[in-house]
Structure 1
Amino acid sequence: MILFAEKSEFNRHILFWWLIAPLLTLLILPAFMQPESFAIASAEVRYLTHWGSRVHPVTERADALFNSLFVDSGWVRGSLDLAQPRTRDLPAATGLFRWLHGWIAGFWMLLYRVIWRVYALLPIYLAAILGYALPAFVDGLTTRLKKRYDFGQHNPIFFYSSMHFVLLAVGLALFVPITPLTLTPWILGGYFFLTAAAVWIMASNLQTGG
């Protein structure tokens, strides 16, 4: 029963951080922010250029995917036209339509920025996995083997806590492209460092059931 409860808790965390939280953020942010605030920040373009990636191919791929899925199919134009205020509407209805029009415009701009960031961040994520998470995992396993050789103890509390944090970190990897914050080296570097630390703690206290 305890094992089943733990698995259920992990499943709930995965469902929330990997699916529900990103979707809610995608829907809520346009309601409180102006559509212009979802434009690609120049700081992110500079960071991508500094990383060694070319901005133009990233933008081309993002444009191609967004246009093929939402523009060419008529979703963008149709939704914006649907929320366009009409002259015969009452003032209250006109205000509601204007708000809805702004929300829809912000939603599409945010969705485009998410797609652009996914293309931009993918090589950075891969480099972080190879440069941070994988070495941390290997070193953590080495530490665990040393504990076993020295008859040390593996802390199950550290293991389960860090495992939850790793699940959270993976969920945040999906959330990062949606965040309203400008992605800077400090934000991404801090995220990668904390993720690697959680991976190390989890690996060094790995519970095998043996």
Structure 2
Amino acid sequence: MKFWVIVFPIILAIFLPLPNNPYLTKIPAVEMLNYKLIFGEERSNAIEDRTDRMFYQFFIQSGAYKLPSKDNRESGEFNQAANLMGGWLHGYMTRFWALVYRAMFRFNFLFSWCLSGAFIFVLAAIYDGQQVRNARKFLLSTANPVIFHFLTHASLLFLGLIFSWCFLPIALSPLVLLVSTIAIALLAWKANASYLG
């Protein structure tokens, strides 16, 4: 869980901008089309506007977003190797901030997806699993702690993979998002129904 939620996204954020390939850091056109198919034109534009405001507030207004500028250098102070290194660093940082923006955009999209009913669906599955557990207690049935442990870690791993997806250069289709939501709900339901407590 810690690897997929913390370490893996940091690794992606560091290494994905290294190649000079805009595809690795930009938002694919098919992904933007998927957002409009799910939420509609107006709400997709609202998500994009919210991402722009957040990026401006957290990174530009705070001063974190800074790129090395060739205009600020004097030709006599840098040799050719330094200029080449500065040019590469400029490109790397440009791609890095594009990757950060894409991750923030996807976080906002997932947040809107949760507000659209996915979160309520998962909570309903957890509650139903709890009722199944209570019924088993009343019937003096036993629960398997190994199954509970396995399903809990599987649910956290699934959530970690979705978190890491925000940094990957892969467009997510609405079908995959729907199947993922159902899978998380089923894992949470079964884990809660198997809980020993």
> Which one of the candidate residues 51, 63, 70 is aligned to 2:38?
51
In the alignment, does 2:96 pair up with 1:142?
Answer: no
On the 8 A contact 2:125/2:188 being kept in 1, the answer is yes
Q: Equivalent residue for 1:79?
A: 67
Which residue is 1:4 aligned to? none
Once the two structures are superposed, what CA deviation does each residue of 1:1-26 show, in whole Å capped at 9, x if it has no partner?
Answer: xxxxxxxxxxxx4x333322222222
Q: Give the Å deviation of 1:112.
A: 0.7
What's 2:80 paired with? Answer: 89
- Offset, 1:195: 1.2
TM-score (norm 1): 0.76
One-letter amino acid of the structure 2 residue matched with residue 88 of structure 1: N
Q: Give how far 1:118 is off.
A: 1.8
Q: Which blocks of at least 5 consecutive residues in structure 2 are unaligned?
A: none
Matching of residue 180 in structure 1 with residue 169 in structure 2: yes
SS at match of 2:191: helix
Secondary structure of residue in 2 paired with 1:154: coil
Relative to 1, partners in 2 of residues 1:134 and 1:69: Cα closer, same or farther, differing over 3 Å?
closer
Could you tell me which residue of structure 2 aligns to residue 124 of structure 1?
Answer: 113
1:31 aligns with 2:21: no
Q: What is the distance in 2 between the residues matched to 1:43 and 1:61? A: 20
For residues 88 and 3 of structure 2, what CA distance do their matches in structure 1 show?
Answer: 28
CA deviation after TM superposition for structure 1 residue 180, in Å? 1.8
Q: How far did 1:106 drift? A: 1.3
The higher-RCO structure (CA 8 Å, 6+ apart) is 2
Q: 1:120-175 deviations in whole A, cap 9, x for unaligned?
A: 221202321212x1222122223223333333221111100111122223333432
Counterpart of 2:4 in structure 1 is: 17
Question: Which range moves more in the overlay, 62-71 or 152-161?
Answer: 62-71
Secondary structure at the aligned position of 1:124 is classed as helix
Give the structure 2 partner of residue 114 of structure 1. Answer: 103
Unaligned stretches of 5+ residues in structure 1:
1-12
- State, as a whole percentage, how many aligned pairs show the same letter: 25
CA gap 1:32/1:186 in 2 versus in 1, 3 angstroms: farther
Instruction: Report the Cα distance in structure 2 between the residues aligned to 1:20 and 1:44, rounded to whole angstroms.
Output: 25
Moved more, 107-116 or 51-60: 51-60
Distance 2:161 2:20 in 1: 21
In structure 2, C-alpha distance between the alignment counterparts of 1:18 and 1:52, rounded to whole Å: 26
2:143–2:196 CA contact under 8 A, matched in 1? yes
